[in-house]
Structure 1
C-alpha cells in the first residue's frame, strides 16, 4: 500500500523503533516458528497466527477480524506465500487502525475554538485513568509539548484522593514551568476543576489539563465524580471538557482492556494514550484497544524521556512493528 512509502522524521522514528523492539522481537520469533517449513499460508499457518496474535495481546475479537481478512486474501489470490505474510499483516492492521481514525496526526495539535463573549476559549482536556498507569507523567509531558509550541498551559490537580498525586503533578508543573491550581488533599475534585478552569480563563490560557482520581473499586462513585467534574467546568466553559483522555498502561496487556471497559462505561472517553510500551512485549495491545473500543489512540509512551510521549501515527507504528 502506498502509505508505507511515507518518509518519517528520523529522530522520533528511531525512538519508536527502539520502544517497540521487545514487542516486535517477541512477535516475529513466534511467527518464524509458525511458518517454519511452510511455503504457503494454509489453515495450520492461520491457526498458529491466530494464537500468536492473541498471545501478543491484540485481543480475541480483533485477532478474529485480522484472520478473516487474511482468509479473504487467500481465497481471492488462491495462493499466498508465507513470505508475503508480513506485508499482508502490515496492510490489514493499518487498515483496521484506519477504521477507528487512530493516528492521523503527526504533531501535537489542539483545535482552535471560537471566542466566547470576545474572550479566548481555552481547550479543556480532562485526563482519566487508574493510579500507576503513567497518568501524571503523561500530563506533564503533554504540558511540555504544548508549551514548546508557544501555548499557555494551566494544570488542575483534581486527583485529591492521594496527596502523592498532587505532589507529583506539582513536580511536573515546576519542571515544565507552568501554573498549577490545587487544593488540600481530600478537597472536592469538582471544586479544584472549577477553580482551574476559571483561573485558566482569567489567564487567557490556550490549554487547561485537569487530572482526576482513578479509583475503580466502585464504578458508580467514579461515574458520579467525573460527571460532577464535567458539570462544574461547564459553568465556566460551556462545552468543556473538549477531550477526555484515558491513559492506559500498555505493559499490563489484557488488564488495559479491562480498565478501558470500566472507564468507557463510567464516562465518555474521546481519546486514548497508551504508555510504557518500551518496557514490554505487549505492544499489540494498541491495535486491539483501538479496534475494540473504536476510540482513537492519540498518544503512545515509548520511553522515560520528556520527549518520549509521541503523537500516535498508525503508519509509523505499523512500519516500526513490522520493519
Structure 2
C-alpha cells in the first residue's frame, strides 16, 4: 500500500500556516452527522474535563498514523500503542486482529480507511442502547427508584452519591440519600454536608449502626415521603475481602425483602487513574454481585490513558453510565459514546 502523506494534512500539528484546509469525508455512515453533536450537552461539558486524555490520545494516534507506513508491522506497533493507552491485552489484540483481517482482505484503500475503521470499531465497543435517564424517569411506576453505589475505598462514592442526587433533582425528581457507610464517621458527616448544600434529605443513623438496618429504614422513609429516587451510599470495601462482600450481598437481600426486587440500579464506581486495576475490581465485584447495571467512572480528567473505558466494557459488557470528574457538584454527566469518541479523535 502506497503511503500518502497528503491525507494527513488536516492534522493541525503538521500544518503550515498557509497550507490549504482540506476536509476529509468519512467512508461510513456512522459518523456522517457527527458535527451535529457539537451542541450535545455531554460533548460540550465533558470536553474540557478529559482534555488530558484527549490531547494525549488524539495527538499520539495522529502522529502514529503519520509516521508509519501501513504494512504488517504497522499493526504490531498499533497494538503496542493501545497497550500504552491502557486498552489491556485482550481488547488491544481484538482491535488489532479485526483491523489486520480487513487489511489482509484488501478492504482498506489507504491510511484514512484504517483510521476511520479504528474510530468506528472503538465506538461499537462502548456503544450501548442505554435508555436516556431524562426520558426513563418520567415513567417511574414504583417508588422509590433504588440506586446502590458500590466500589473499593477511595474512589469517591460519597461524592458521586451527592452528584447523582443533584442530577436527579435537576430532572425534577424528589431524592433521598441513604448514609449506609456507617463504619466511617467522616462519610456520614460528608454526605450530610452534601445534602445540606444541595437541599436533599439524608437518612442517617448513628455511627456503627448495621448498614442493612440503615438501608431498610431509609427505604421505609422514602416510601412514607413518596420520594422518587433513593440513592444508597455504601462503605468502601476491598473486592478480595470476603466478609465485606458478604455484607454487601446482605444489603441487596434486605432491599429485595423490603421491595420484593433487587435495586433498580447497582452502579460500580471506579477511579480511571487506577488503570488495569479497575479491571480486577470489576471482575471480582461482578463475580460476587452479578447484578451490576453500570459503571460510574471518576477522575478521567486525571489520566492520559482513556483506553480503560474500552477494556472494562469489552471484558464485562457493563455500560459506562456516568462520568464524574471534578470537585464541583455539577461535574457529573451521562455518558454518551458518540460524543466521547468524537472528542477522543478531535
Query: Of 186, 189, 193, which residue of structure 1 is paired with 2:211?
Result: 189
Q: Which runs of 4+ in 1 moved over 4 A?
A: 106-109
CA apart distance, 1:304: 3.0
Note the alpha carbon deviations across 1:87-109, whole angstroms, 9 max, x for none. 221101111223xx265647584
RMSD (CA atoms)? 2.1
Q: Does 1:200 align with 2:251?
A: no
CA distance in 2, matches of 1:161, 1:148: 30
Cα distance in 2, alignment partners of residues 122 and 11 from structure 1 = 27
What is the 5 A alignment of 1:107-186? 107=134, 109-110=136-137, 112-115=139-142, 121-186=143-208
**Residue 90, structure 1, aligned to residue 119, structure 2:** yes
Q: When the two structures are superposed, what TM-score results if normalisation uses the length of structure 1?
A: 0.90
**1:11 Cα deviation from its structure 2 partner:** 5.2
TM-fit CA distance, 1:296: 1.2
**Structure 2: unaligned runs, 5 residues or longer:** 1-27
* SS, match of residue 77 in structure 1: coil
Whether contact under 8 Å (1:128, 1:135) holds in the other structure is: yes
Aligned-pair distance for 1:213? 1.2
Task: State the alpha-carbon separation in 2 of the partners of residues 102 and 137 from structure 1.
Answer: 27
Q: What is the Cα deviation at residue 314 of structure 1?
A: 0.6
**Alignment match of 1:77 (pick from 106, 112, 117):** 106
User: Which of 52, 57, 61 is the aligned partner of 1:22?
Assistant: 52
Partners in 1 of 2:117 and 2:206 — Cα distance? 54
Per-residue deviation, 1:37: 4.1
1:1-323 aligned within 5 A = 1-4=28-31, 5-6=33-34, 7-8=36-37, 9-10=39-40, 12-39=42-69, 41-98=70-127, 101=128, 105=132, 107=134, 109-110=136-137, 112-115=139-142, 121-216=143-238, 218-268=240-290, 269-323=292-346
- 2-structure distance, mates of 1:287, 1:258: 14
Q: Is the 8 A contact 2:177 2:202 kept in 1?
A: yes
Distance 1:229 1:78, change over 3 A: closer
What CA distance in whole angstroms lies between the structure 2 residues aligned with 1:294 and 1:77? 31
Task: State the alpha-carbon separation in 1 of the partners of residues 145 and 131 from structure 2.
Answer: 20
Question: By how many angstroms is 1:61 displaced?
Answer: 1.0
Work out which of the two has the higher radius of gyration on C-alpha atoms and give 1 or 2: 2
Deviation at 1:53, TM superposition (A): 0.8
Q: C-alpha offsets along residues 282-303 of structure 1, whole Å, 9 cap, x if unaligned?
A: 2221111111111111101243
- How far apart are residue 32 of structure 1 and its match? 4.4
Shift of residue 80, structure 1, vs aligned partner: 4.4
Measure, in 2, the Cα distance between the counterparts of 1:3 and 1:225.
Answer: 45
Partner Cα distance (2:328, 2:262) in 1 = 30
Q: For the Cα contact (< 8 Å) 1:127–1:245, is it kept in 2?
A: yes
Q: Distance in 2 between matches of 1:37 and 1:175?
A: 52
**Is contact 1:122–1:200 with CA below 8 Å preserved after alignment?**
yes
Deviation at 1:140, TM superposition (A): 0.7
SS in 1 for 2:200: coil
1:218 Cα deviation from its structure 2 partner = 4.5
State the SS of the aligned residue for 2:47. helix
So what's the TM-score if we normalise by structure 2? 0.84
Contact in 1 for aligned 2:162/2:195 (Cα 8 Å): yes
Deviation at 1:172, TM superposition (A): 1.3
Compared CA separation, residues 244 and 153, structure 1 to 2 (3 A): same
TM-fit CA distance, 1:142 = 0.8
In structure 2, relative to structure 1, the CA distance for the partners of 1:234 and 1:79 (3 Å cut) is closer
SS at match of 2:68: coil
Structure 1: state its 5+ residue gaps.
Answer: 116-120
